[in-house]
């Protein structure tokens, strides 16, 4: 065996988590808006560099591209570790780590002065990576709440709250043997709630903007 192999095995978890964070730090709302000649999403609406605010620019295409790319930031690192991590000794702890790292990268991107979005699409992408059925259930929850109430923030908060509950219901007694993934879902959910604290205040006050509405 190559003498460097043991060192690579030791460093693999940390390097993998770091790579996930760097991928998460790519603020696609800003990148896509620049490439498509749109206004910086931080300059209007909620000021949040995310797909929902890009939608307020009037470009549904840009919003959809942003949504898909932001979701991939959470999905791809998790899938990569799940499928190829075993050879490097990367277990569920690292799966959970890269999910949280990609999510944190979106919230606090190193490439954009740590001023990122609220992480909904990246969260959903990570959840799909952890378990596609869990992802479908969480995504369906978002769609149902958003359809009936027209509040993206409310749909995001409800989805984040239900994701670990769905995981518990689906896993049953096996859940107790998978604490890293449960902890990752709960941590991402709490961070998502924290990032939506202003939205929560507006929801309570009845001043939160609805989906499809434009802000100056």
pLDDT class of 1 with cuts at 50, 70, 90 = very low
CB 187 within 8 A of CB 100: yes
Tell me the C-alpha to C-alpha distance, in Å, between residue 168 and each of 76, 145, 179, 182, 184.
23, 21, 11, 8, 13
* pLDDT score at 8: 57
DSSP-assigned states of every residue in 59-111: -HHHHHHHHHHHHHHHHHHHHHHHHHGGGGT--HHHHHHHHHHHHHHHHS-GG
Contacts of 205 (CB under 8 A, 6+ apart): none
Model confidence over 4-24: pLDDT tens digits? 556 655 788 899 999 999 999
* pLDDT score at 55: 84
Residue 173 has pLDDT above 90, yes or no: no
pLDDT class of 59 with cuts at 50, 70, 90 = confident
* pLDDT score at 143: 96
Tell me the C-alpha to C-alpha distance, in Å, between residue 146 and each of 162, 170, 174.
15, 24, 32
* pLDDT score at 174: 45
Candidates 131, 77, 132; CA nearest to 105 is 77
Candidates 166, 162, 148, 196; CA nearest to 52 is 196
- Read off the pLDDT of each residue in 67-90 and give the average, rounded to a whole number: 94
Which of the pair, 60 or 75, is modelled with greater confidence?
A: 75
Model confidence over 113-166: pLDDT tens digits? 899 999 999 999 999 999 999 999 999 999 999 999 999 899 999 999 999 999
């Amino acid at each position: 065996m190559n003498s460097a192999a043991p060192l690579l095995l030791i460093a693999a978890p940390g390097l993998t988590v770091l790579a996930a964070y760097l991928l998460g730090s790519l603020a696609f709302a800003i990148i896509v808006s620049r490439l498509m000649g749109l206004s910086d999403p931080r300059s209007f609406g909620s000021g949040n560099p995310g797909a929902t605010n890009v939608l307020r620019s009037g470009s549904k295409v840009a919003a959809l591209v942003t949504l898909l790319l932001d979701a991939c930031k959470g999905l791809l690192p998790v899938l990569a570790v799940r499928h190829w991590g075993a050879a490097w000794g990367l277990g569920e702890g690292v799966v959970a780590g890269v999910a949280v790292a990609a999510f944190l990268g979106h919230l606090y991107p190193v490439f954009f002065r740590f001023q990122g979005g609220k992480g909904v699409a990246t969260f959903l992408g990570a959840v799909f990576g952890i378990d596609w059925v869990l992802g479908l259930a969480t995504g369906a929850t978002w769609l149902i709440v958003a359809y009936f109430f027209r509040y993206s923030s409310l749909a995001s908060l409800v989805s984040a709250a239900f994701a670990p509950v769905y995981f518990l219901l689906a896993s049953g007694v096996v859940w107790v043997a998978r604490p890293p993934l449960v902890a990752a879902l709960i941590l991402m959910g709490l961070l998502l709630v924290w990032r939506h604290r202003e939205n929560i205040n507006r929801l309570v006050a009845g001043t939160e903007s609805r989906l499809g509405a434009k802000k100056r």
